[in-house]
Amino acid sequence: MTKPYVLGIDIGGTNTVFGIVDARGSVIASGAIKTAKHPVFEDYIDEIYVEATKLIEANDAVGKIGGIGVGAPNANYYTGKIIDAANLIWKGELDIAAQLEAKFGIPVAITNDANAAAIGEMTYGAARGMRDFIMITLGTGVGSGVVANGQMIYGADGLAGELGHCIVRRGGRPCGCGRCGCLETYTSATGVKRSALEFLEASPNVPSLLRNIPSADLTSKDVYDAAIQGDEIAKNVFEFTGRVLGESLADFAAFSSPEAFVIFGGLAKSGEMLFKPMREAFDKNALSFHRGKVKILSSELKEADAAVLGASALGWDAMRLADTNNTL
């Protein structure tokens, strides 16, 4: 029997947020624990179980949760494992899906944060009803999720959709992945900061509000605030960031010809400051039949809920898959 709720769990380096979500994408209730509190991974799973169970009981949802979806760094949909996640304290392979499933007795599916965001957008957000779209997450890094033929593309190894690591400037900026010139080094929040520092250094005689902020403290938000106030260098940084992103989207469109790109994450809130140069660069660089046709949209998920919603959306998949297996 189909149950009315799913549980979404979003695992970040600092916080683990979980929530009970209904089919329309309303977060009924949510809670959080500190991710790094337990040196032993099994103790961490225990705390999730204890705290989520309290939440489920308090909200009269016992027996009503059909599936659990987990969004986590380096999470592999096929194996149900997290492998060598740089920002988690536990190293090696973490058999998270199996452990949660054993605890809760509810089917579990996992994927990485960016894929979870894409599934969330398809289930509850801007990509509802779309069969082909690409989600781009502009955060500390650049994540992505590719949906084609109405399905998430996981690839042969469960690690597809790493568009933030397409090389957009050969021999360009060093990236955390060990290579150079990745999209992420230009269009993440960190990339915006790097551009600002580069531009300030390249034009020492151009006055800028950003010169009042120590390099170490400078954030992409500072650059945005300065750009809004008309700061020339800050405006150039957004112009450049949007252009690199638009050029890249044009190539991504050549791959899967999506109906839309959905842009999510802190930088997406920069609005036209980012979207205008991005759209212009897309139209200038895209194949003729994509120009003016592929939509470039902002995420419709509320940012506070987005991580849990994305993870939860995968819970419906877990439930359906388990139902199908049970009836076979």
Q: Which of 298, 309, 237 lies closest to 266, judged by CA?
A: 298
12 vs 172, beta carbon nearer its own copies? 172
Each residue of 106-140: b (16+ CB within 10 Å) or e? bbbbbbbbbbbbbbbbbbbbbbeebebbbbbbbbb
In DSSP terms, 10 is beta-bridged to 17, 71
Site string for its own copies, 256-295 (x = CB under 8 A): xxxx-------------------------x-xxx---xx-
178 touches its own copies (CB under 8 A): yes
123 vs 144, beta carbon nearer its own copies? 144
166 touches its own copies (CB under 8 A): yes
Q: Which of 324, 319, 310 lies closest to 27, judged by CA?
A: 310
Q: Which residues contact 323 (CB under 8 A, 6 or more apart)?
A: 2
- Coil, strand or helix at 281: helix
* Smallest separation, CB 79 to its own copies (Å): 13
Q: Which of 270, 3, 246, 268 lies closest to 126, judged by CA?
A: 268
242 touches its own copies (CB under 8 A): no
* Smallest separation, CB 155 to its own copies (Å): 2
159 touches its own copies (CB under 8 A): yes
2 vs 288, beta carbon nearer its own copies? 288
* Smallest separation, CB 284 to its own copies (Å): 9
Could you give the angle at which helices 189-202 and 232-256 cross, rounded to 10 degrees?
130
Residue ranges in contact with its own copies by CB under 8 A: 130-133, 146, 148-149, 151, 153-163, 165-167, 170, 177-179, 247, 250-252, 254-259, 285, 287-289, 293-294
